[in-house]
């Protein structure tokens, strides 16, 4: 084995990730090469430092609190879903009621029908436009997140 | 148990059964997944973002997304890499949009480690934490998985979705970078 072949294998040796034959090959070289053996000692020193520290953790009680917060959010999601379905159904019902009682009623003036009709069309266009914008920005966001 | 290599990335003993129940809408089963994996997800995300509040927020958002996506989860696959992929995406996009993050990773003394004396330990935690903050996200990620979660190369490859060879070279390069950043420390030991 030559020095230029050693490189990242030293890390793998340190982590016990080499097969026994790879390990023997590498150790044979490291034992006789001062450059690679110095590099291995440096890696070991870093490993030694890293083994003395760890990342901060949260107490179990904090996790329980966070879980109950998350649980409430999950539950509320179902609430929002049902409320959303209810509102949609009501709107559809209201629309047909309005159509039936108002637009098909000859007693209501044509001008009023027209203004309400135009207002309705305007609102529908605004609704479609904003939801399309939201959908597009969300799709862009997802695409950005997928980039590794 | 066919593959003992994967056990640490797949810690819950009856994981698939729990996932199946959670996917069917059982919130208590989802709670079991949360308790098993949220602390680990949080630890890695903290290592990436270096901010406790942000890390907690990302963990919670990731689990909310996971809950929504669970019905489409392919049963039989390990859950941790899937959960982590969601949290990882959030962390990376958050890091991209938020440059004003902390200057250091807050490290603690590991229990049972041979003590060098209090002052020396405080100094080591500070210097290593600052050095880690100078690494890239990918570098911090790999250090966290290898050193703080003790995952094997195969497990890391599975969790971050890259070949084992990439794990090996990225880890080695990261260690070389850390060694340079910790040069002063090594000199006075
Ligand atoms: Zn050599």
* Facing residue for A66 by CB, picked from B56, B89, B185: B56
E-assigned strands of chain B?
108-109
Region B8-103: CATH code: 1.10.1740.10
Q: Is the pLDDT of residue B130 over 90?
A: yes
ipTM: 0.82
Return left, alpha or beta for A16; rule: phi > 0 is left, psi -120 to 50 is alpha, else beta: left
Mutate to test the interface with A, among B171, B184, B185, B188 (most CBs of A within 10 A): B171
Q: Is the pLDDT of residue B114 over 70?
A: no
Contact A144 B93 (CB under 8 A): yes
Residue with the larger pLDDT of the pair B177 and B77: B177
CATH architecture of structural domain B115-189:
Orthogonal Bundle (1.10)
Residue with the larger pLDDT of the pair B169 and A102: B169
**Could you read off the pLDDT tens digit of each residue along chain A, which spans 148 residues?**
888 889 899 999 999 999 999 999 999 999 999 999 999 999 999 999 999 999 988 888 889 999 999 999 888 878 888 899 999 999 999 888 888 887 777 888 888 888 888 998 999 999 999 988 887 766 554 444 443 3
**pLDDT score, position A78:** 80
**pLDDT score, position B189:** 46
The HSE-up count of residue A16 (CA atoms within 13 Å, CB side) is 5
CATH 1.10.10.10 location in chain B: 115-189
What residues 75-134 of chain B have any CB closer than 8 A to a CB of chain A? 89-90, 92-93, 96, 105-110, 113-114, 116, 121, 124-125, 128
- Give B30-58 pLDDT, tens digit per residue: 999 999 999 999 999 999 988 888 999 99
Q: Which of A42, A127, A143 is nearest to B189 (CA)?
A: A42
**pLDDT score, position B5:** 40
- CA A87 to chain centroid, in Å, comes to 29
* Facing residue for B178 by CB, picked from A7, A46, A58: A46
User: Taking CA B137 as the corner, what is the angle to CA B157 and CA A43, rounded to the nearest 5 degrees?
Assistant: 70
* Facing residue for B110 by CB, picked from A51, A71, A145: A51
CA of A34 to the centre of ligand 1 (A): 7
CATH 1.10.1740.10 location in chain B: 8-103
Which tokens belong to A59? Answer: 């107490």
């Amino acid at each position: 084995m030559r020095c230029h072949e050693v490189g990242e294998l030293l890390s793998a040796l340190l982590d016990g990730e080499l097969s026994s034959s790879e390990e023997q090959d590498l150790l044979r070289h490291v034992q006789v090469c001062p450059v690679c053996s110095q590099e291995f000692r440096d890696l070991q020193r870093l490993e030694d430092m890293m083994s003395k520290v760890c990342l901060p953790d949260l107490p179990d009680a904090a996790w329980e609190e966070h879980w109950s917060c998350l649980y409430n959010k999950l539950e509320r999601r179902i609430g929002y879903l049902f409320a959303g379905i209810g509102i949609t159904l009501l709107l559809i019902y209201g629309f047909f009621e309005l159509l039936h009682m108002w637009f098909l009623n000859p007693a209501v003036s044509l001008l009023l029908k027209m203004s309400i009709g135009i207002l309705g069309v305007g609102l529908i266009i605004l609704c479609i436009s904003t939801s399309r914008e939201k959908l597009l920005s969300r799709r862009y966001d997802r695409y950005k997140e997928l980039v590794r | 148990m066919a593959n003992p290599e994967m056990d640490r990335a797949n810690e819950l003993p009856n994981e698939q059964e729990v996932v199946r129940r959670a996917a069917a809408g059982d919130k208590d089963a989802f709670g079991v997944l949360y308790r098993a994996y949220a602390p680990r997800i949080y630890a890695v995300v903290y290592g990436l973002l270096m901010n406790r509040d942000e890390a907690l927020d990302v963990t919670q958002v990731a689990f909310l997304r996971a809950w929504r996506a669970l019905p489409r989860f392919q049963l039989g696959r390990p859950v941790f890499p899937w959960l982590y992929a969601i949290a990882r995406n959030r962390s990376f996009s958050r890091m991209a949009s938020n440059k004003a993050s902390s200057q250091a990773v807050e490290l603690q003394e590991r229990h049972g480690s041979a003590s060098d004396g209090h002052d020396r330990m405080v100094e080591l935690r500070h210097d290593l934490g600052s050095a880690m903050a100078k690494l890239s996200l990918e570098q911090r990620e790999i250090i966290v998985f290898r050193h703080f979660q003790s995952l094997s190369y195969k497990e890391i490859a599975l969790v971050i979705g890259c070949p084992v060879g990439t794990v090996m070279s990225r880890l080695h390069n990261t260690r070389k970078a850390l060694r340079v950043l910790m040069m002063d420390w090594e000199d006075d030991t």
